[in-house]
A and B are shown apart, each in its own frame.
Chain A
Amino acid sequence: MKKTWLLGLVVLHSFLSEAKTYVVNPKGQLKSIQTAISLAHDGDTVRVMAGHYREGNYIIKKSIVLLGENLPVLDAENKYEIFTIVANDVSVIGFRMINTGKASINDISAVNAIQTKRLRVANNQMENTFFGIHLANSTASLIENNTFHSDAEAEHLAGNGIHAWKCDSITIRNNTIRGHRDGIYFEFVTHSHVENNYSHHNMRYGLHFMFSHHDSYVKNTFHNNGAGVAVMYTQDVTMIGNRFEDNWGASSYGLLLKDIRDSHIEGNHFLRNTVGVYMEGSSRCRMEKNVFKDNGWAVKIQANCDENSFQRNSFLSNTFDMATNGSLVLNTVDYNYWDNYQGYDLDKDGIGDVPFHPVSLYSMVVEKMPSSIMLWRSFLVYLLDRSEKVVPSITPESLKDNHPVMKNYDYHF
């Protein structure tokens, strides 16, 4: 009974407000997207045919669908913001947005959403925009299948690719972001999901989380960004199946964890970074089944981290497996595979008979005196490391893997 009543209401509603479609075509009667937007009502669609449109800033105050056919170009002529969206239930699909204005005080964007709900931005190309998509105080929105590219030379001339501030329940998936300040930036964003994006050659971070709780990012690739990914001042973040690759530089790392709590980091690849994971002031994070390969330092863990666990990870051909800056260690390291392990497994249970100490004496020296890295691989250093292994004196005795596995886990994801 309730169902038919509801159905009747839906039918009645669709009779009362029949959704219209306005077709904008450079060769047709309706040539201006601005005009089409002003004619449209809630629920209508504006279909835009291919062409080059220079109409400044579009302010969307109605719940409409903007649908581009064959990527119509919206050119902001280096002056304007393109879409400013202040209504709920707006969709922006299939446009090529180019040349937004650049300002250091206002965050000019291709799509700027302020206090909206259920926004959808899909299948667009953003080229040479200051900010790509800027969401403020918005909820339940979807951003998918877009590409973002910025050519900015100086960092203050590049905004973030996707920037979310005080948002909730945002999904960001299948986007490619290149050349921005941060690829994806979250500040005060909760319950959001970032999946399968490719963020590369951005000036600062591929992904940047600040004060953003209960979020997850899964199966993304972060390649050759200024300094990888930063997750800061945040709790309950899930990071699964991501790739952190080729972040080289004096202060560069694959993943920076600063003041993180209760997070889960599993099945990620850290390849060819100066530092794979840098951890500071973090507690209760689980690092499991990750692969650390060809890094300068696989993991740098500061002494102010506690109750973190590193289990069942693979450490392969890293210069240093772990480094720390103190002697007190309150973290668990267990059941990992270390290719630097030289012990035997006489009882053949697959687990080395003596514990492995992943922190070498020399990594402690380098931590105190970075320039001493010059002597790395010299005979003297080899001797020092060897004697330290026999009689540990400087390296933290408690930071050890009691069950180093003998065979590489060989994770493939």
Chain B
Amino acid sequence: MKYLLFVLFGIVTLSCSTEPEPLKYGTDVCHFCKMTLMDNKFGAELVTRKGRIYKFDDMRCFLNYYNSGNEATSDFQHALVIDYLNPGNFLNAYDAFYLKSSAIHSPMDGQVAAFQSKQHMMPLKKEWGAIYLAWGEVVTQYK
């Protein structure tokens, strides 16, 4: 009986998890544009306080949904973006460094890539002739 309780408790806590889930490229579908995720240099994820997970293939879709008002931005427990130089791995969207350039060919032509730090970003900034954006600027890009 005790064990059963433990198991039940486990299931309950599991189903309330608000932990992010890795993006499964080739299987997962962008919540906004319905495209299958393919390019692991790009992508993003939102996890709500209730544990609902939304996956995106491009900054454009991610921010369009983020700003859509379907959910208050304060309801998002996690906002994560894929590290361009570390494909498939997340960065906190609020702390990431962003580059915007027409040389960046992302799945939905969002033209934005995300980086972990300024040092990582600088060589590509020069190569692409890109402009640097912080979260506060990138969030208004597609309005």
Contacts and interface: CB of A to CB of B under 8 A. Distances in A.
A155 B38 CA distance: 6
A256 interface: yes
Main secondary structure of the interface of B (DSSP, over half): loop
Interface stretch (B28-36, B46-54, B134-142): B28-36
A104 B41 contact: yes
A203 B41 CA distance: 17
Interface in B65-92: 87
B33 A232 contact: yes
A137 to B, nearest CB: 12
B25 A232 contact: no
Contacts of A154: 26
Contacts of B108: 210
B21 interface: no
A156 B36 contact: no
Nearest to A165: B105
Contacts of A227: 36
Nearest to B124: A105
B34 A155 contact: no
A348 to B, nearest CB: 44
A388 to B, nearest CB: 29
Contacts of A393: none
A278 B34 contact: yes
A258 interface: yes
Interface residues of B, number: 15
Contacts of B26: 154-155, 203-204, 226
A187 B25 CA distance: 21
Interface in A80-108: 104-105
A256 B38 contact: no
A280 B35 CA distance: 12
B109 A156 contact: no
Contacts of A251: 29, 34, 36
A181 interface: yes
Nearest to A249: B27
Nearest to A211: B109
A204 B109 CA distance: 17
A26 B33 CA distance: 51
B34 A156 contact: no
B5 to A, nearest CB: 26
A76 B130 CA distance: 32
A258 B36 contact: no
Interface in B2-51: 25-26, 29, 33-36, 38-41
A204 B36 contact: yes
B100 to A, nearest CB: 17
Given A203-B26, A210-B109, A156 B87 contact: yes
A314 B140 CA distance: 46
A258 B33 contact: yes
A230 interface: yes
Contacts of A256: 34
Contacts of B33: 232, 258
B25 A230 contact: no
B34 A280 contact: yes
Contacts of B87: 104, 156
A156 B25 contact: yes
A155 B25 contact: yes
Contact of B38 (A105, A156, A165, A210): A156
- Kindly name the residue among A156, A205, A258 whose own CB sees the greatest number of chain B CB atoms within 10 A: A156
B57 to A, nearest CB: 11
Nearest to B36: A204
A187 B40 contact: no
A61 to B, nearest CB: 23
A156 B35 contact: no
Interface in A192-214: 203-205, 210-211
A53 B109 CA distance: 37
A227 B25 CA distance: 13
B109 A181 contact: no
A226 B39 CA distance: 15
B25 A258 contact: no
Interface in A101-149: 104-105
Interface string A292-330: 000000000000000000000000000000000000000
Interface string A344-382: 000000000000000000000000000000000000000
16 contacts: A154-B26, A156-B25, A156-B40, A156-B87, A181-B38, A187-B109, A204-B36, A204-B38, A210-B108, A226-B26, A226-B36, A230-B34, A232-B35, A258-B33, A258-B34, A278-B34
Interface of B: 25-26, 29, 33-36, 38-41, 87, 105, 108-109
Given A211-B109, A258-B34, 16 more contacts: A104-B40, A104-B87, A155-B25, A155-B38, A156-B40, A165-B105, A181-B38, A203-B26, A204-B36, A210-B108, A226-B26, A226-B36, A227-B36, A230-B35, A251-B36, A280-B34
